[in-house]
Amino acid sequence: MVFFEESNPCDVDIEELLSVLGQHFKNVKAKDLTFTYHGTYNVFGFKKYILRVPDKALRNYDGIQLIQDEVAKLKNLANFLSIPIPQPVKISIDENMPFMVYEKLPGVPLSSVFRSLKPQNKKNIAINIGNILSQLHSPHMLHQVNSKVFQTNFLTSEYKSFWEKRFEEIQDKVLPLVNSTQKVWIYHLFDEFLENPANFRFKPTLTHCDFDTSNILVDQDKGTVTGIVDFEETKAWDPAADLLFYEDTVFQQKILESYEFSESVSLRDRMKFLYCRTFAPYITWGKDHEKHTMVKYGLLKLENLRQAFPYNG
């Protein structure tokens, strides 16, 4: 499946956006904007920049807070990460059109070239990713960053209650939409995870939390990672969340071979659970905000996951 966000249409009024941009940049025209992606943000190429405008549901105080929080994270992380990350050059806190602008980083999204990569280059990129995550997930990184910005007081006991609450939400919003086979699979997925104490004994690390191939920039010819983007969700969390590359298990294994903490307790079980539950946010967010195509995508994703990881109990 392609990412929903790659086919999700732009929800920004371009004329209104140009009016706000014109307050910060001279002679901005519609032809200067190239829409590329719509997830939490609508993302545009904009001359030598990347422009990010929150989803319509977040063009309010929440969107402003989202931008300000990410700016604080990026400024703090720039002191500690060896890989290029965005550094905002302009933000707008206009509630009707908040945005963030940063200079483009080198490379292209891994998702756009993954299928065409030469085998050796794909292997090299996997090794790069394992090394980058080893740096991000190292214990000293969590101790170095700003504790308030990254919520470093996170406890694994809270992790279990977090997923119990997400399961309650799924029972309320998702189960009424699925068939009996899918319902059994969802119950098994969460029961197996929640009932295993080993899943709550890991050491929290600084975790990107949206570390998929669309947010990893690469030089496809050299086979290197050139940058990482989209740090709005980065926090102290379960490092397994950054290792969900199940679409290509060979690639995933190469990452784990160069990842310093690949033998940590229950890592692979947590990875499987976190990957299998990725259908849920599309359905719950889509239902809450009347985004029917998002709900449809989430239901299709659920069925694909159920078939890929069957429960035969």
The sign of the CA dihedral 128, 129, 130, 133 is positive
Measured between alpha carbons, how far is residue 226 from residues 50, 119, 219 in Å? Answer: 16, 18, 6
What domains does the chain contain, in order, with CATH numbers? 4-103 (3.30.200.20), 108-308 (3.90.1200.10)
Q: What 8-state DSSP symbol labels residue 90?
A: E
How far apart are alpha carbons 74 and 76 in whole angstroms?
Answer: 5
| Cβ(76)–Cβ(146) below 8 Å | yes
Task: Return the pLDDT at 1.
Answer: 47
In what side-by-side order are the strands of the sheet with 224-228? 108-109, 216-219, 224-228
Task: Return the pLDDT at 312.
Answer: 82
What averages of pLDDT result for each successive group of 10 residues across the chain (313 residues)? 84 96 93 96 96 97 96 96 96 94 97 96 98 97 94 91 98 98 98 96 96 97 98 97 96 98 95 98 97 97 97 82
Q: Which DSSP string do the residues of 217-275 spell out, in sequence order?
A: EEETTTTEEEEE---TT-EEE-GGGG---TTSHHHHHHHHHH-TTTTSTTHHHHHHHHH
Q: What 8-state DSSP symbol labels residue 51?
A: E
Task: Return the pLDDT at 77.
Answer: 96
